[in-house]
Structure 1
Amino acid sequence: MKILARQLTMDFYHCKNSKLQEMEAIKSMLRDLLGGFGCRIIDVQGHEIEKQHYAIAALFGEGHIMLHVYTDLRYVAGDVFLFAENAQPEDFFKGIRKFFQPDKTKTTFLKRGEIAASSDIRPKVKTRVAPLRKIHNTGAKVIRILARRNRS
């Protein structure tokens, strides 16, 4: 099976970085991140979509990064798309996460263009939600206690 590309989608909730409203600072962070990985930067552009929402696209020889920033919600949605079977979009994710400093992240990893011999092509999706600080899940504890009582 041949993989043409790898993509990582990401959601950052409750971002703490005070530069969330500074489009130029985010564009600069993307340039630095791409340069640090030796990527061939083609262009980094940002555009205001509406008040409190703008999009930034970084196009480089090995793929692209797209970010939608919602400043009033302190929320960032984005994706990293890399044109290589052995690409590691998680490395880019770490740098972007470090910049925005979210309380919680959600990522989905996709293998794009899976070319298989069979005609039954189904994408394999792996989704992970990871809060960055520990929260005790009392709801799950209550359900376990109730389940034990019902068995007795």
Structure 2
Amino acid sequence: MNLSARQLTIDLYHCKNSKLQEMEAVQYQLRELLEAADCNIIDLRAQELADDHYAIVTLFPEGHALLHVFPGLRYVAGDIFLCKEEAQPEEFFKAMRKFFAPDKTKTTFLKRGDFASPKDFKPTIKTRVAPLRKIHNTGAKVIRILARRNRS
């Protein structure tokens, strides 16, 4: 058997969606997203883990999806594992980014199931950090900071 899979981990910082507080709304969104991607959901469970966060776990034949949501921090951590080489977990990320509306994201792609010999094994990992807001008037801010320092 040859297994080649892809996994995407996501960190969403400073989320703006007010539904972050509503575990059922996030659970519904995750179900809708996975069903639209033709994932046959076996089980989807949401559980409040502490006063400050909850988790949603989804199992399907093609893999799994997991979200940890911290409403007080406006932070979401998650991953999706898909047991198909041609899988595109990036679509999952795009939909989550659209739903949660974060200021900054961090994604890491992992290629899983590489059965090369141990001496040839080098994991394929790509990490990307991207702020979603642009800084306005950067030049003017730098000039003000320098002017304050010169006065001191």
Matches within 5 A, 1:2-151: 4-117=4-117, 119-135=119-135
Distance of 1:82 and 1:6 partners within structure 2: 5
* Conservation of the 8 A alpha-carbon contact between 2:3 and 2:83: no
Deviation track 1:25-80 (CA, whole Å, cap 9, x = no partner) reads 11100111011111101111011111111111111121111001111100000001
Runs (4 or more) in structure 1 with deviation over 4 Å come to none
Offset of residue 117 of structure 1: 4.6
TM-score, scaled relative to structure 1:
0.84
SS of 2:90 mapped into structure 1: helix
Are 1:52 and 1:71, in contact at CA under 8 Å, matched by a contact in 2?
yes
* Deviation (angstroms), 1:123: 0.8
Kindly indicate whether the alpha-carbon contact (under 8 Å) linking 2:11 and 2:75 is maintained by their aligned counterparts in 1.
yes
Residue identity (%): 65
* Structure 1 spans left out of the alignment, 5+ residues: 143-152
- Asked if the contact 1:7–1:79 (Cα under 8 Å) also holds between the matched residues in 2, the reply is yes
Query: May I ask how many residue pairs the two structures share in their alignment?
Result: 139
CA RMSD across the alignment:
2.0
- CA deviation after TM superposition for structure 1 residue 118, in Å: 5.9
Q: Distance in 1 between matches of 2:18 and 2:54?
A: 16
For 1:71 and 1:42, the matched residues in 2 are separated by: 27
TM-score between the two structures when normalised by the length of structure 2: 0.84
Gaps of 5+ in 2: 143-152
Q: Deviation per CA, 1:124-144: give whole Å up to 9, x if none.
A: 2110001111137x6xxx9xx
The 8 Å contact of residues 3 and 111 in structure 1, kept in 2 or not, is answered as no
Query: Who is 2:147 aligned against?
Result: none
Question: Do the aligned partners of 1:55 and 1:67 also contact (CA within 8 Å) in 2?
Answer: yes
CA–CA distance in 2 between the matches of 1:113 and 1:39?
20
CA distance in 2 between counterparts of 1:7 and 1:29 reads 20
